[in-house]
Amino acid sequence: MNADRKPSEPGRAPDPTSGATLGAARSILLHDDSLTGADQRDAIAGLFEDWLVARAEALGITDRSGFAVVAVGSLGRREMVGYSDLDLILVHDDRYPERLSEVADGLWYPLWDAGISLDHSVRSVPEALRVTREDATAALGLLDSRFIAGDRDLADLMTVSVRNLWRSEARLRLPQVIEAAQDRWRRTGDIAHRAEPDLKSGRGGLRDIQLLNALAVAQLTDGLARLDPGSAGSPLPAAYEFLLGARGEAHRIAGRARDQIRAQDADEIAVGLGVADRFELARRISDAGRTTSYAVDAGLRTAQNAVSRRGFSRLRRATMRRPLDEGVVEQGGEVVLARSAIPSQDPGLVLRVAAAAARNRLPINGPALERLAAYGAAMPEPWSAEALSDLLVLLAAGHDMAGPVEALDRAGLWGRMFPEWEHVRDLPPRDGIHTWTVDRHLIETVAGAAELTTSVSRPDLLLLGALLHDIGKGLGGDHCAVGADLADTVGRRLGLWEPDRRILSEMVRHHLLLHRVVTRRDPADPAVVAHVAETLGGSAVLAELLGALADADSRATGPGVWSEWKATLISGLVERVVAHIGGAPVTAPDPIAPEFRELAEHGGLHVRLNPGDGPNMTVVTMIAPDRPGLLSKMAGVLALSGLQSHSATVGVHAGHAVDSFVVMPTFGGPPDAVLLRQRLVAVLGGGRDPVAELAARAAARQPEAGLSGRPAVPVSRIAAPPRVRWLSGPDGHPLLELRAADDEGLLARVTAELERSDADIAWATVSTLGATAVDTFCVDLRRDDAAARESIAAAVLAVCAPVR
């Protein structure tokens, strides 16, 4: 094909009048203010069709002539915008080869002479089928073929044959189609988040909707783009109409084919579309692009599932359902609702679905999202501890959480939980240094913060601060001050304690403070350090969090905003501020309750259950004669019983270990005390090795290879690497602090490794903040020197690899 204009052949006299008339008529239609949108596209398409019919008749291309003019591309879809290419096929039946060149030249040369951008080809039906089989991109274009003039039966034969071939070979061609789309996306980027988006070829653009229609022709998905834009249901048709309109305005303003929205044209395009300004235009384009991207992702998954269930594969056993969380399972490479799930009675189900999707790197099933959107119960306020924990698990998944959050947002579920998101959704940046829309910038900042959760003492507040730091934008005034008030409101809704709400609010209020100080003042000046410490209310925790947030925020802003030089300045300032304040408080053991002290003094083995703070939380206290390896065995029994440890306190009294664990069952109700005691007795008797059993269970739980054919790999709940550091305890004993991705059996694995390393655990405090374990162990070391501590730290880090 050739889209360039060609000069007339020497000595040839094509009909310049008809060509010139066509070009002039198109120009008139493009500048007719009474014609806009679909009316203008219909008028342009009608103009070209009338011209082609008349030209074909003049060349003897009539019914039964053995020639047919077929439109593909934009004219085939009747979507001629501005200066769209004219895509034509001259179909012939090989009966008159001597006339082929004459007829083709008679069609093409007047168009070239008129300055019409033309993509053209000459095909017999067998040739069209060969192209369909060999070239996936050309095949997609042929699916839009529409008869214009000449031999209708011949044109229909080609169209039907191509579509039948496409349907029959879709299972084989789909990987090529997906690969071609992904290559195109890599070249052009997402239109939802580009300053100058490519409306035609960008991810979420017009070609993606045409791809959906091609999958619909193959009967692999629904033809969403064929719906009436004014009808209820899918927002995709309206998104498609808006993108077509914006592309048409871009063509009109440029006076030629231009599919990219340039910044200098945005205001004029907004006026042409009746949109308030260029910022609202960017917001509308972003929304349309995200709607389309979400639909394409869902359509491609549906198509992949459909082709995998063709032929004899339909007779195989149904896909296994792998439990992921309460009411949440994996089936067919997607996260779906369990058969027992009742969204109307389970407010936290939507967060468990999203967290499971992010944690396991799986998409959320479309019908499951629709069911949650239609029937999901509103989240009670304040949120339960379990719901907040699931939110933090979702956020801590790093870049893997962007897809699930986007799915929730497209389904209207994210906005229900965070109404404040409405002001930042698709909000374009007001300066050139920001790469993303404000809402996407927040998500990118959270993804960056997830990689830093093990570098701070409060990873939960770091993630929430990253999510909310720019939430005040789009409301007028100082977005830091406005956002601080909103953060306090969100914190109340999430059920945060008042001190944590204060830190969260101050994070948002001062999230630009460190940047401003290191770029405007001397961060090593003691007066500057004292000023920052005073501004932060003497909170070392807040200073530490702001340092991590500055890192994540800068990296999510755009290229060149963050540098090693700025990182060094900010980290140095944070260190000096923390030192000025007096450092972070050192962890100390929690006192043992009198009732458990009494049980320890009586001796024996005891398991006691008490209700926790949340409806599904239980405090399990285990008391047994102290012995090496006891803590790892207790923690292993709980993990083998399907109980997630959210916090723990470990102590010794009267020669007995008194260990209390705040646990929540992964599935079902609270644990049974008698059963837990029996399992503990079996483990202490040497009949079971809980750490080995957990490892074997994790290996057996690994999912099978997905649609890509590659085996699934274990994934962590958080993106941050584990970290170990040694501290000095209040009594001078060494403290080993571990920050790592929480996972099934983590406490059992870590304590078993400490016990193997001859580190006797005197006491411990264990906490899980969302998806991050922050554990402190006071240990007695048989040999306490730098080499011994380094060896123990390395051993602990080695067992922190996730088992999921």
Strand partners, 39: none
- How far apart CA 703 and CA 788 sit, in angstroms, is 39
Any domain includes 339: no
pLDDT digits (tens, 9 = 90+) for 559-599: 778 888 888 999 999 999 999 998 766 777 888 999 999 99
Pick the residue with more confidence: 32 or 496? 496
Whether 393 has a pLDDT exceeding 50, the answer reads: yes
Is residue 316 scored above 90 in pLDDT? Answer: no
Total domains present in the chain = 4
How many Å separate Cα 238 from the centre of its chain?
23
pLDDT of residue 372: 96
Beta bridge partner(s), residue 759: 781
CA pair distance 285, 205, nearest whole angstrom: 9
Q: In what order do the strands lie in the sheet with 322-325?
A: 322-325, 328-331, 334-337
Residue 779 pairs with which residues in a beta bridge? 761
Q: Which letter does DSSP use for residue 775 in this model?
A: E
Clarify whether residues 599 and 563 are in a common domain. Answer: no
My answer on whether 169 and 204 are in the same domain is: no
Query: In the prediction, which pLDDT does 1 show?
Result: 39
C-beta of residue 745 within 8 angstroms of C-beta of residue 757: no
Domain boundary among 174, 204, 219: 174
The more confident residue out of 452 and 695 is 452
- Is 17 in a helix, a strand, or coil? helix
Give the best-scoring range by mean pLDDT among 15-24, 54-63, 455-464, 774-783.
455-464
Bigger pLDDT: 449 or 782? 449
Assigned token pair, 110: 């007047």
> Could you report the per-residue pLDDT of 108-122, keeping only the tens digit for each?
998 888 888 899 999
> Alpha-carbon distance 542 to 457, whole Å?
10
Residue 373: pLDDT band (50, 70, 90) is very high
Task: With cut-offs at 50, 70 and 90, classify the pLDDT of residue 706.
Answer: very low
Task: Assess whether 86 and 221 both reside in one domain.
Answer: no
Percent share of the chain, pLDDT over 70: 91
- Say what the pLDDT of residue 223 is: 56
DSSP state of 457: S
> pLDDT category, 551, cuts 50, 70, 90?
very high
Q: At what angle do helices 97-113 and 16-30 cross, to 10 degrees?
A: 50
Q: Which of 174, 202, 218 is the last residue in one of the domains?
A: 174
Say if residue 511's pLDDT is above 80.
yes
Q: What is the pLDDT of residue 136?
A: 82
Q: Model confidence over 185-216: pLDDT tens digits?
A: 999 989 988 878 999 999 999 999 989 888 88
Residue 554 lies in a domain: yes
Does 195 reside within a domain? Answer: yes
Mean pLDDT, residues 233-257: 88
- CATH, residue 297: 1.20.120.330
Task: Examine residue 60 and state whether it is found in any structural domain, yes or no.
Answer: yes
Rounded to whole angstroms, the Cα distance separating 532 from 177 reads: 55
Mean pLDDT in residue range 678-697:
88
More confident residue, 217 or 465: 465
pTM of the model: 0.82
What is the chain's alpha carbon radius of gyration, rounded to the nearest angstrom?
33
Give the pLDDT band of residue 318 (cuts 50, 70, 90): low
At residue 390, the pLDDT reads 94
Band of residue 19 on the pLDDT scale cut at 50, 70, 90: low
Tens-place pLDDT, residues 486-501 = 999 999 999 999 999 9
pLDDT in tens, 638-667: 999 989 888 899 999 999 999 999 998 888
Q: What is the dihedral of CA 269, 271, 275, 279, to 10 degrees?
A: 60
* Token pair 């709940």 in the structure block, residue: 717
Phi-psi region of 189 (alpha: psi -120 to 50; beta: other; left: phi over 0): left
Same domain, 78 and 203: no
Half-sphere exposure of 259 (CA within 13 A, CB side): 13
| Residue among 729, 721, 734, 728 at smallest CA distance from 779 | 734
* CB 754, CB 650: distance < 8 Å: no
CATH of the domain at 75: 3.30.460.10
- 215 with 270, same domain: the answer is yes
Say yes or no: 605 and 746 in one domain: yes
137 has pLDDT over 70: yes
| Amino acid, single-letter form, for residue 87 | D
d(CA 775, CA 115): 72
Last residue of a domain, one of 585, 609, 624: 585
Tell me the pLDDT band of 229, cut-offs 50, 70 and 90: very low
Q: Does residue 615 share a domain with residue 555?
A: no
List the structure tokens of 139.
């095949």
236 and 120 inside one domain: no
Same domain, 527 and 601: no
Which three-class secondary structure state does DSSP give residue 355? Answer: helix
Neighbours of 330 (CB within 10 A): 21
Query: What is the average pLDDT value for the chain, to the nearest integer?
Result: 87
Indicate if the pLDDT at residue 702 is higher than 80. no
Looking at the domain assignment, is residue 440 inside a domain? no
Structure tokens belonging to residue 456: 């701070």
Q: Does any domain span residue 661?
A: yes
What are the structure tokens assigned to 609, written together? 């259950």
Same domain, 627 and 772: yes
Are the C-beta atoms of residues 504 and 461 closer than 8 Å to each other? yes
Q: What is the pLDDT of residue 79?
A: 87
| Domain identity same for 295 and 249 | yes
Name the pLDDT band for 425 (thresholds 50, 70, 90).
very high
Predicted confidence at residue 46, as pLDDT, reads 92
* Domain ranges, residue 257: 189-308
What is the secondary structure of 689-749 as a DSSP string? -HHHHHHHHHHHHPPPP-TTSPPP----SSSSPPEEEEEE-TTS-EEEEEEEE--TTHHHH
183 assigned to some structural domain: no
3-state secondary structure 521-551: CCCCCHHHHHHHHHHCCCCHHHHHHHHHHHH
Structure tokens at 771: 């998806």
Degrees to nearest 5, angle at CA 397 with 393 and 399: 145
**Does 515 map to a domain?**
yes
Pair 559, 669 in one domain:
no
